[in-house]
């Protein structure tokens, strides 16, 4: 049991080190030797868990997908309105990206640095499904205009969310992401939410940004 626990801890250490390097330098610019050095493990330990660098990337993408689904399930189960659940889901994911490298690396890898292999579904497809379902429900709850094209709105929101991080990676620190996310929601709320309900969601966006502690 102790040996199994050590093996699991070593595997987690390797994945975290790889995610940190993939996020900061990119997949192609990171070698297995870089990962070994950053994780402070032996090459033998790395190859025991991962036969190739791509296997590490797929492991990170898998963790990334599970985190996304877990956050969405948690928010949907708390009794929030559908739009609030969606907003809280995006900010919860932003918090994870600020606090750890795996969500950041997963997003960078998903943006085209590696091919997402079955049985994994591409993260963007997952997010489109989550956003579409929440927007359909929000329209039924009269929190967004009922004549909105939900498919187009979901696609635009996912692109907006991903784009804030992709652009921000080059121009500003990850700690700025919550601010950009709040800006995104202020624009979206003004465009999609009926006037009588708008103030509630504008206030919520500001509140959720403030709740994320920047390291």
Q: Please give the average pLDDT of every successive group of 10 residues along the chain, which has 215 residues.
A: 78 95 93 95 93 94 89 88 96 86 89 81 88 96 95 94 82 84 96 97 95 70
Provide the terminal-to-terminal Cα distance of the chain, rounded to the nearest Å. Answer: 35
The pLDDT of residue 215? 53
Place of tokens 């975290």: 16
The pLDDT of residue 7? 81
Opening angle at CA 159, ends 157 and 102, nearest 5:
105
- Domain residue ranges of the chain, discontinuous segments joined by +: 52-210
Contacts of 153 (CB under 8 A, 6+ apart): 135, 144, 192
Half-sphere exposure of 174 (CA within 13 A, CB side): 21
Reduced to 3 states, what is the DSSP secondary structure of residue 143?
coil
72 neighbors 55 (Cβ within 8 angstroms): no
38 neighbors 21 (Cβ within 8 angstroms): yes
Q: DSSP letters of 144-175?
A: S-TTS-HHHHHHHHHHHHHHHHHHHHHHS-GG
46 neighbors 4 (Cβ within 8 angstroms): no
CATH (one of 1.10.357.10, 2.40.50.250, 3.20.20.30, 1.10.1060.10) for 52-210 = 1.10.357.10
The pLDDT of residue 214? 61
The pLDDT of residue 91? 94
The pLDDT of residue 213? 65
């Amino acid at each position: 049991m102790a040996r199994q626990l050590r093996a699991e801890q070593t595997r987690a250490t390797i994945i975290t080190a790889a995610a940190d390097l993939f996020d900061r330098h990119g997949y192609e610019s990171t070698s297995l030797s870089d990962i070994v050095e950053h994780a402070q493990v032996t090459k033998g330990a790395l190859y025991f868990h991962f036969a190739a660098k791509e296997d590490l990337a797929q492991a990170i993408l898998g963790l990334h997908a599970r985190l996304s689904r877990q956050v969405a399930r948690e928010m949907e189960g708390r009794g929030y309105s559908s739009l609030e659940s969606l907003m809280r889901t995006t900010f919860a994911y932003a918090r994870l990206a600020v606090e750890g490298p795996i969500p950041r690396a997963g997003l960078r890898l998903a943006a085209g640095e590696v091919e997402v292999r079955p049985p994994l579904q591409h993260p963007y497809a997952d997010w489109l499904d989550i956003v579409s379902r929440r927007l359909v429900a929000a329209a039924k709850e009269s929190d967004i205009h009922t004549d909105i094209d939900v498919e187009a709105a979901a696609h635009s929101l996912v692109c907006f969310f991903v784009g804030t991080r992709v652009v921000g990676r080059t121009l500003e620190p990850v700690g700025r992401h919550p601010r950009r996310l709040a800006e995104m929601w202020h624009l979206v709320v003004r465009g999609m939410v009926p006037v009588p309900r708008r103030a509630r969601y504008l206030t919520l966006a500001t509140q959720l940004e403030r709740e994320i502690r920047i390291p």
